[in-house]
Structures are given as C-alpha cells and as structure tokens.
Amino acid sequence: MIEIRLHGRGGQGAVTSAELLAQAAIQEGKYAQAFPSFGPERRGAPVVAFCRISDEPIRLRTNIYTPDLVLVLDPSILRLVKVGAGLKPDGILVTNTKYSGPELRKELGITHTLVTVNATRIATEVLGLPITNTTMLGALLKARPVVPAEALIAPLEKRFGRIATKNIAAFQRAYQEAVIDRP
C-alpha cells in the first residue's frame, strides 16, 4: 500500500488532488481512498488531505501518520508545518517551490528525497491562476508513478470539463519540469 499526505491551504485543492489521484488508481484496477482532515479551517488556513492506493482492499480508516509520499501545494506551508513528520526513511517529499532542491534541503534540513517544481509559476502561466493542485500531481507522479500519468487524464476531464485542457497542460508541464534531488 502507498500512503500519501497532502498539505495545502484551504481553497487550493489539496482535497481535490487526493480525490483525483484515487479516481485514477481505481480506474487502473487498484483500490484507493481519499479523504480530508477538517477542523475549523477556513479559506487560506493550512489543511491536510490523504490518499491510499493498494492492490488489495484497504481496511484502514485513519489519518496517515507514516506516509510514503508528502505533497506540499503551498511553499509557505514548509515553514509553518512539519510536513516531513513521520515520512518513511525511503519517503519522498514533493513540494511547490521556486528554490532548488539543494537550496531547500540546506535551509530546512530535509534529509529525504526531495522533488521540487515551481508549480505556482506554471499554474499562473497555464491556468491564469496560482491554483497548484493539478500541477503538483504532475510532480508527484514524476517522483513516484503510483499510477501511470495517462491515468489522470480522464479524472481531470471529468472534474474540470471545459477547462480540463489547461489543467492537463499544467499537470504535464510540471511532470516535465519537476527535479528529483536525492540525499
């Protein structure tokens, strides 16, 4: 089973990202679940969402405390929340940042494999808005192909309808531009 924790801010699409990933996995014949962790959050407040993908039925119904992958949609979260907490020793941190992996690693003391992409820039250029959820899924699948990248196309089309083409373009561009930095 692969467990993914997503960090973002309310309104940025962390929950949508988890749902899209789960839909793609189910479409590929896997078992998946996606769910948010909500409290008194409001738009702009830090939020967490979760996704599990497995070849076997998933019986767990808890938050993810020891993820294989952590996805960070908003770079400011890196300084507010311990996003790497519980990340497995061979885990991967995928983050939206304008900094290089080595720069971020040095500043924040990151010891895991780090995947960086400037998703805010990509989303702004492609979508016209700094909403990074679909963009960051491209970086996630480059970091670890938990489903084939093509499997996300149908869920994106279904979810976004007439604006799906732009979301797919942002997703594909982030997949190409994401940089993997191993310790």
Q: Give the helix ranges, DSSP H, for the chain.
A: 14-27, 101-108, 119-127, 133-143, 153-160, 164-177
Q: Domains in the chain, ordered, with CATH?
A: 2-181 (3.40.920.10)
pTM for this predicted structure: 0.93
Please give the average pLDDT of every successive group of 10 residues along the chain, which has 183 residues. Answer: 94 91 97 84 79 96 95 93 93 96 91 96 95 95 96 95 94 97 92
DSSP state of 85: T
In angstroms, rounded to a whole number, what is the distance separating the alpha carbons of residues 136 and 110? 19
Tokens of 156: 């994106």
